[in-house]
């Protein structure tokens, strides 16, 4: 029979597990709860733990449905959202187009000076990007790209390209060469093989990298700050400028910023999971 | 009794990996769980080690119920199929691991590691890393690591199956000798029947989570109790038939429309089986070529359908009317395909199994 | 060189040219420009005056940046090792699943939102202090202002821990079950297994996780800019931004940039060397 010692030990283990989960959950979710509360707080005077009065006023204001007392920002949330989405879409398309051939070559071919190339493609991840943006601003002043959307797009492409190349190269590498070789043996040319065999097989990986790039650009702060301001106001820029004078409005913007990443992550997780299951099943 | 299992069952989801397994192992005995992969033998071993908790049943080591104890409090030693030597530790550190956990003084640890290395004949390998050792050497380090803590029971999970055939043959004897010298209780898991016969005092044959027969190696081989054991052990020929009667203490089995074969019938009440479906188990080594013999039971006139050179022996397949057998001869006594021979199948060594 | 290999080289070159053009012109060129600008004075002569300026005026901030970023990475490391160990060694499937889901949450939150969260969360009368006051930990009248190294530390740890835990978890996953089982059978408890088996065997992943997190902390601009801003001491990234936007001074900004390169570079080399060394043991034998 199970002894008393065993029961006590079991209770202690269970209590420890629950404590671990609670501590971790409050650590992870408390700041999130805080920003959500701020975005719907109408009146919140200390020392109250929760707001005294709730309301969606700041959301109406933020969404431009109502002109309010706090709306001093030059750009509304809708305009900023549009700018952000347009930039992120352009960045995603250009980045994917540029990264595909490079990723393919890195994954499938023997390339001279490969270590050097690999190092170059790792640099933007390893070293701080800010000094690059600072000097890019200097260069873009002269070219008239500072404070303009194309300049911001270029700034975003730098880190995105590196991520896209690595993710896409890993995807191409994961496709067994047998598929391509048998297509070639059966008479398909290299381009036909790529478009009919390689590309469809790597679709999940390419979609994943596109989503990743889109979100990176959508959330990007530093590059836009140096290259884009004051003319190009994306959501992160709006959040930054609002957080200085209006906590509630800034909190509403912060939550808006989260929406696409959460949507994409949920969709992507589902998508990749079924893909994965299909592979082993 | 050193190790006892009482009705142990383990499920993974809806899959029953171990089904109501019970056995007792005596002190100093080498007990082998034999079966094909996936039969649950490794799961049983892991339950004894405490790595799996059974869903039902009890496990006793030295008379103490250890079912609810975690592995670290059971005092077992285990050798894994892949050896599981820690790659970041030297041979010395690998072997000393269990001793350090027992907080022994450093000089005793040193002494016992040295003794363990002598035992497995690896003196002087203390400072090597596992990656610098051959497979056989790694296997011996794993053995030393399990033995150095003086476990109450030594568990071995297919310890030889990653080695090449030559080395495997040699190490079988070494392992048996070593375990017997130490007088330790050992439970050995393997799918290799020869290994089981050479090593074990007793063997338990497993099939789909159950133990189907327990016995000394001789009994398992000579007296399989079920069709499954008979087909798994040796290279027996299995023939279906109907029990017609009992003559001279042998069961008479009718095969097809006119053939009759005699064999040992293991039953307390043989007459009750008359008219039932049975299986005749013919061992190739129980078949003799008899020229011009008459008046013998189980004498059949057969045509050699195929003779295959196997290196050292020739495997012959022979069609004996309504059934087929195979038998082996030395390679210099090959019988030509198509020739007709008289074959005598010894009734004493032929088994009739009722199911 | 035969005709085929010439053709091949051209093919490779064409495939690489778009991305190489981008990286060389808008990444590597400004990267090198940072070094050049930092060692040239207004009349175009070589000089170290910008560095000596940085080390007289901003020495405190440079040390502050390195210290806070290293400390944050260290705290993240401890938490993520605990989480990864729990997930790797727990036998309770349900617990493992919940833990696995909770700890990832900050991965999906961009740094700029983290900064805003921390601004509301850590404010003198923000959520954290009010919470602590309710429990009776502090007096709200004299609530501490956390918008200094502490705010930065909390923000960095909150954001970086899941990423680190994922890398370490993948390192732990490479340690096969039998290596853990072998230790358990010999009498090792969980802590002992973490210390003697998991950590040493996953040394490479841990080193990489630490180096990446530290480098990312050093290069982060958003969080310190929104949490500390111009208060003293602040991070190199914030000063860099101030030098450029307020003073139009690229020399000092780039000197700071090159220092941050050097810090990250030295750190990565030290840690990656350790990782390569550890990799010798991590390779599984067949």
B305-344 pLDDT, tens digit per residue, is 999 998 889 999 999 888 999 999 998 888 889 889 999 9
CB-CB neighbours of A91 under 10 Å: 25
**Least confident interval from A137-151, B35-49, C259-273:** C259-273
Closest residue on chain C to B95 (Cα): C186
Interatomic CA distance for residues C50 and C251, integer angstroms: 6
Distances (CA, A) of C210 to B88, C66, C88, C207, C269: 21, 14, 19, 5, 12
Number of domains in chain A: 2
Residue B355 confidence (pLDDT): 72
Closest residue on chain C to A253 (Cα): C113
> Are A262 and A193 part of one and the same domain?
yes
Q: What is the pLDDT of residues C140-155, one digit of tens each?
A: 777 788 888 999 999 9
> Are A27 and A112 part of one and the same domain?
no
Provide CB contacts within 8 A for C113, sequence distance 6+: A35, A219, A239, A254, A257, A258
User: In the beta sheet, which residues pair with residue B186?
Assistant: B30, B154
> Are A183 and A231 part of one and the same domain?
yes
Compare C12 and B62 and report the one with higher pLDDT: B62
Closest residue on chain A to C254 (Cα): A131
- Is the confidence at residue A33, as pLDDT, over 50? yes
Q: What is the pLDDT of residues B131-173, one digit of tens each?
A: 999 999 999 999 999 999 999 999 999 999 888 888 888 888 9
> Are A203 and A250 part of one and the same domain?
yes
Q: What is the pLDDT of residues C38-56, one digit of tens each?
A: 999 888 889 899 999 999 9
Chain A residues touching B68 at Cβ < 8 A: 2-3, 6
Of chain A, the end-to-end C-alpha distance in Å amounts to 42
Interatomic CA distance for residues B286 and B343, integer angstroms: 10
Q: What is the dihedral angle through the alpha carbons of A249, A250, A252, A254, rounded to the nearest 10 degrees?
A: 170
- Is the confidence at residue C283, as pLDDT, over 60? no
Provide CB contacts within 8 A for B337, sequence distance 6+: B304, B305, B306, B307
Phi, psi angles (nearest 5°) of residue B23? -165, 160
Burial label for A259, CB within 10 Å (0-12, 13-18, 19+), is: exposed
> Are A81 and A58 part of one and the same domain?
no
Residues of chain C with CATH 1.10.3720.10: 51-282
Do residues A235 and A256 touch, judged by C-beta distance below 8 A? yes
Chain C residues touching B146 at Cβ < 8 A: 185-186
As separate numbers, helices (DSSP H) first and strands (DSSP E) second, chain A gives: 13, 2
- Is the confidence at residue C280, as pLDDT, over 50? no
**DSSP 8-state assignment for residue C40:** B
The CA angle B90-B95-B98, to the nearest 5 degrees, is 125
Global pTM exceeds 0.90: no
Q: What is the pLDDT of residues A159-195, one digit of tens each?
A: 999 999 998 998 898 888 888 888 888 877 888 888 8
Q: Within a domain: residue A67?
A: no
- Is the confidence at residue B20, as pLDDT, over 90? yes
Are residues C222 and A21, on separate chains, in Cβ contact within 8 Å? Answer: no
Tokens of A251: 């909190």
Q: Within a domain: residue A196?
A: yes
Tokens of C260: 């941050």
Residue pairs spanning B and C at CB distance below 8 A: 75
Average pLDDT over residues C218-229: 92
Which three-class secondary structure state does DSSP give residue C6? helix
> What count of residues does chain B have?
355
Provide CB contacts within 8 A for B324, sequence distance 6+: B237, B305, B317, B318
Q: Within a domain: residue A70?
A: no
Residue A276 confidence (pLDDT): 44
A115 Cβ under 8 Å from any chain C Cβ: no
Distances (CA, A) of C123 to A55, A134, A215, C146, C227: 22, 30, 28, 7, 10
> Are A273 and A189 part of one and the same domain?
yes
C116 Cβ under 8 Å from any chain A Cβ: yes
Q: Within a domain: residue A111?
A: yes
Residue A277 confidence (pLDDT): 42
Residue C155 Cα to chain centre, angstroms: 12
Give the H or E element holding residue B203. Answer: strand B202-207
Tracing tokens 């050995």 back to the chain, one arrives at B188
Residue C160 Cα to chain centre, angstroms: 7
Q: Is the dihedral of CA B316, B320, B324, B326 positive or negative?
A: negative
- Is the confidence at residue C231, as pLDDT, over 70? yes
Q: What is the average pLDDT score of chain C?
A: 88
> Are A84 and A159 part of one and the same domain?
yes
> Are A117 and A85 part of one and the same domain?
yes
Interatomic CA distance for residues C215 and C65, integer angstroms: 11
Q: Within a domain: residue A227?
A: yes
Q: Within a domain: residue A72?
A: no
A278 band by pLDDT with thresholds 50, 70 and 90: very low
C132 band by pLDDT with thresholds 50, 70 and 90: confident
Q: Do strands B351-354 and B259-265 pair parallel, antiparallel, or not at all (unpaired)?
A: parallel
Q: Within a domain: residue A166?
A: yes
Residue A199 belongs to domain spanning: 77-279
> What count of residues does chain A have?
281
C179 Cβ under 8 Å from any chain B Cβ: yes
Are residues A158 and C14, on separate chains, in Cβ contact within 8 Å? Answer: no
To the nearest whole Å, the CA of A67 is away from the closest chain C CA by: 23
Q: What is the dihedral angle through the alpha carbons of C124, C125, C130, C136, rounded to the nearest 10 degrees?
A: 60
Tokens of C50: 């910008």
What order of strands is seen across the sheet that includes strand B202-207? B76-79, B153-157, B185-190, B30-34, B202-207, B210-215
Interatomic CA distance for residues B204 and B48, integer angstroms: 15
Are residues A251 and C116, on separate chains, in Cβ contact within 8 Å? Answer: yes
Tracing tokens 């080193």 back to the chain, one arrives at C207
Average pLDDT over residues A24-43: 87
Q: What is the pLDDT of residues B203-216, one digit of tens each?
A: 999 999 999 999 99
Provide CB contacts within 8 A for A12, sequence distance 6+: none
Closest residue on chain A to B64 (Cα): A1
**DSSP 8-state assignment for residue C107:** G
Are residues A130 and C127, on separate chains, in Cβ contact within 8 Å? Answer: no
Residue pairs spanning A and B at CB distance below 8 A: 3
CATH code for the domain defined by C51-282: 1.10.3720.10
The predicted complex's ipTM stands at: 0.88
Do residues A25 and A31 touch, judged by C-beta distance below 8 A? no
Interface of B with C (CB under 8 A): 46, 49-51, 70-78, 80-82, 84, 86-88, 97-98, 101-102, 129-131, 145-146, 149, 155
Do residues C147 and C233 touch, judged by C-beta distance below 8 A? no
Tracing tokens 């159950």 back to the chain, one arrives at B210
Q: What is the pLDDT of residues A112-148, one digit of tens each?
A: 788 888 888 888 988 999 999 999 999 999 999 999 9
Tokens of B204: 């338990």
Interface of B with A (CB under 8 A): 68
User: In the beta sheet, which residues pair with residue B250?
Assistant: B247, B264
- Interface test with chain A among B54, B59, B65, B68, by most A beta carbons within 10 Å: B68
The CATH number for A257's domain is 1.10.3720.10
Average pLDDT over residues B39-62: 93
- Is the confidence at residue C281, as pLDDT, over 60? no
**How many CA atoms lie less than 13 Å away from C89 in the CB half-sphere?**
23
Give the H or E element holding residue B316. Answer: strand B313-320
Do residues B98 and C187 touch, judged by C-beta distance below 8 A? yes
> Are A218 and A114 part of one and the same domain?
yes
- Asked which of A62, A91, A114 is the last residue of a domain, the reply is A62
Are residues A35 and C117, on separate chains, in Cβ contact within 8 Å? Answer: yes
C67 band by pLDDT with thresholds 50, 70 and 90: very high
A91 Cβ under 8 Å from any chain C Cβ: no
Provide CB contacts within 8 A for C62, sequence distance 6+: C54, C55, C236, C256, C259
Of chain B, the end-to-end C-alpha distance in Å amounts to 33
Are residues C192 and B101, on separate chains, in Cβ contact within 8 Å? Answer: yes
A191 Cβ under 8 Å from any chain C Cβ: no
Distances (CA, A) of A45 to A185, C118, C130: 75, 18, 10
Provide CB contacts within 8 A for A275, sequence distance 6+: A204
Burial label for C245, CB within 10 Å (0-12, 13-18, 19+), is: middle
> Are A238 and A201 part of one and the same domain?
yes
- Asked which of A11, A39, A62 is the last residue of a domain, the reply is A62
Q: What is the pLDDT of residues B263-277, one digit of tens each?
A: 998 777 778 888 889
Between B70, B77, B87, which is nearest C281 by CB?
B87
Q: Within a domain: residue A69?
A: no
Interatomic CA distance for residues B325 and B319, integer angstroms: 7
To the nearest whole Å, the CA of C197 is away from the closest chain B CA by: 7
């Amino acid at each position: 029979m199970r002894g008393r010692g065993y029961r006590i030990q079991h209770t202690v283990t269970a209590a420890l597990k629950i404590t671990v989960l609670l501590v971790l959950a409050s650590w992870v979710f408390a700041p999130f709860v805080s920003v959500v509360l701020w975005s719907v707080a109408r009146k919140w005077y200390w020392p109250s733990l929760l707001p005294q009065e709730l309301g969606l006023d700041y959301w109406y204001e933020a969404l431009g449905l109502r002109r309010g007392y706090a709306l001093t920002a030059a750009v509304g949330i809708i305009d900023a959202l549009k700018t952000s989405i347009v930039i992120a879409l352009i960045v995603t398309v250009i980045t994917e187009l540029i990264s595909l051939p490079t990723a393919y070559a890195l994954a499938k071919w023997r390339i001279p000076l490969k270590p050097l190339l690999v190092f170059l493609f790792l640099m933007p991840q390893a070293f701080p990007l800010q000094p690059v943006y600072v000097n890019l601003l200097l260069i873009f002043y002269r070219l008239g790209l500072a404070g303009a959307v194309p300049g911001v797009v270029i700034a975003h492409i730098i880190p995105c390209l590196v991520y896209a190349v690595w993710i896409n190269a890993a995807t191409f590498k994961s496709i067994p060469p047998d598929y391509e070789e048998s297509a070639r043996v059966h008479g398909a040319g290299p381009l036909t093989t790529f478009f009919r065999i390689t590309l469809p097989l790597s679709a999940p990986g390419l979609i994943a990298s596109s989503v990743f790039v889109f979100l990176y650009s959508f959330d990007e702060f530093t590059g836009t700050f140096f290259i884009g301001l004051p003319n190009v106001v994306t959501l992160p820029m709006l959040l930054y400028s609002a957080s200085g004078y209006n906590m509630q409005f800034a909190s509403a913007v912060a939550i808006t910023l989260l929406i696409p990443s959460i949507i994409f992550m949920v969709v992507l997780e589902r998508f990749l999971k079924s893909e994965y299951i299909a592979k082993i099943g | 009794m050193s190790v006892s299992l009482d009705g142990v069952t383990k499920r993974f989801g809806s899959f029953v990996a171990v089904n109501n397994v019970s056995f007792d192992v005596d002190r100093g005995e080498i007990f082998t769980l034999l079966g094909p992969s996936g039969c649950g033998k490794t799961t049983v071993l892991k339950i004894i080690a405490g790595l799996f908790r059974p869903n039902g049943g009890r496990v006793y080591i030295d008379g103490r119920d250890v079912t609810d104890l975690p592995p670290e409090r059971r005092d077992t030693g285990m050798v894994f199929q892949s050896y599981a030597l820690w790659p970041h530790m030297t041979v010395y550190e690998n072997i000393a691991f269990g001793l350090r956990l027992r907080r022994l003084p450093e000089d005793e640890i040193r002494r016992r590691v040295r003794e363990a290395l002598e035992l497995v004949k690896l003196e002087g390998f203390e400072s090597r890393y596992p990656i610098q050792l051959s497979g056989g050497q790694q296997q011996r380090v794993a053995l030393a690591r399990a033995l150095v803590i003086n476990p109450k029971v030594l568990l071995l999970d297919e310890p030889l199956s990653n080695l090449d055939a030559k080395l495997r043959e040699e190490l079988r004897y070494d392992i048996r000798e070593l375990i017997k010298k130490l007088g330790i209780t050992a439970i050995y898991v393997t799918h290799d029947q020869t290994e089981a016969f050479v090593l074990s005092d007793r063997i338990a044959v497993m099939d789909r989570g159950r133990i189907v027969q327990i016995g000394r190696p001789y009994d398992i081989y000579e007296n399989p109790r079920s069709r499954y054991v008979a087909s798994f052990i040796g290279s027996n020929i299995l023939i279906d038939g109907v029990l017609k009667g009992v003559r001279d203490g042998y069961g008479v089995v009718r095969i097809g429309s006119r053939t009759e074969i005699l064999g040992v019938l293991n039953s307390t009440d043989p007459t009750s089986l008359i008219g039932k479906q049975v299986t005749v188990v013919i061992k190739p080594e129980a078949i003799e070529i008899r020229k011009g013999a008459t008046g013998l039971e189980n004498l059949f006139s057969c045509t050699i359908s195929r003779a295959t050179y196997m290196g050292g022996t020739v495997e012959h397949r022979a069609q004996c009317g309504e059934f087929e057998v195979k038998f082996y001869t030395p390679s210099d006594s090959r019988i030509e395909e198509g020739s007709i021979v008289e074959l005598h199948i010894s009734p004493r060594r032929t088994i009739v199994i009722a199911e | 060189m035969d005709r085929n290999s010439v053709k091949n080289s051209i093919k490779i070159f064409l495939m690489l040219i778009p991305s190489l053009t981008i990286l060389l012109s808008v990444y590597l060129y400004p990267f090198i420009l940072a070094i050049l600008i930092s060692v040239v004075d207004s009349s175009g002569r070589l000089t170290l005056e910008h560095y000596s300026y940085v080390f007289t005026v901003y020495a405190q901030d440079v040390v502050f940046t390195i210290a806070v970023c290293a400390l944050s990475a260290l705290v993240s490391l401890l938490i993520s090792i605990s989480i990864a160990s729990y997930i790797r060694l727990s036998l309770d499937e349900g617990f493992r699943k919940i833990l696995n889901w909770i700890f990832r949450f900050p991965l999906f939150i961009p740094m700029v939102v983290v900064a805003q969260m921390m601004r509301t969360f850590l404010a003198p009368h923000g959520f954290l202090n009010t919470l602590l006051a309710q429990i009776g930990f502090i007096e709200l009248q004299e609530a501490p202002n956390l918008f200094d190294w502490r705010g930065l530390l909390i923000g960095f740890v909150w954001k970086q821990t899941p990423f680190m835990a994922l890398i370490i978890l993948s390192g732990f996953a490479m340690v096969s079950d039998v290596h853990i089982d072998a230790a358990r059978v010999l009498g090792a408890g969980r802590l002992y297994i973490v210390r003697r088996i998991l950590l040493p065997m996953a040394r490479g992943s841990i080193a990489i996780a630490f180096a990446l997190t530290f480098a990312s902390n050093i290069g982060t601009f958003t969080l310190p800019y929104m949490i500390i801003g111009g208060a003293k001491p602040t991070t190199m990234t914030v000063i860099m931004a101030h030098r450029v936007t307020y003073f139009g001074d690229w020399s000092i900004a780039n000197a700071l940039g090159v220092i941050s390169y050097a810090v990250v570079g030295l750190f990565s080399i030290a840690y990656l060397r350790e990782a390569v060394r550890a990799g010798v043991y991590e390779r599984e034998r067949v």
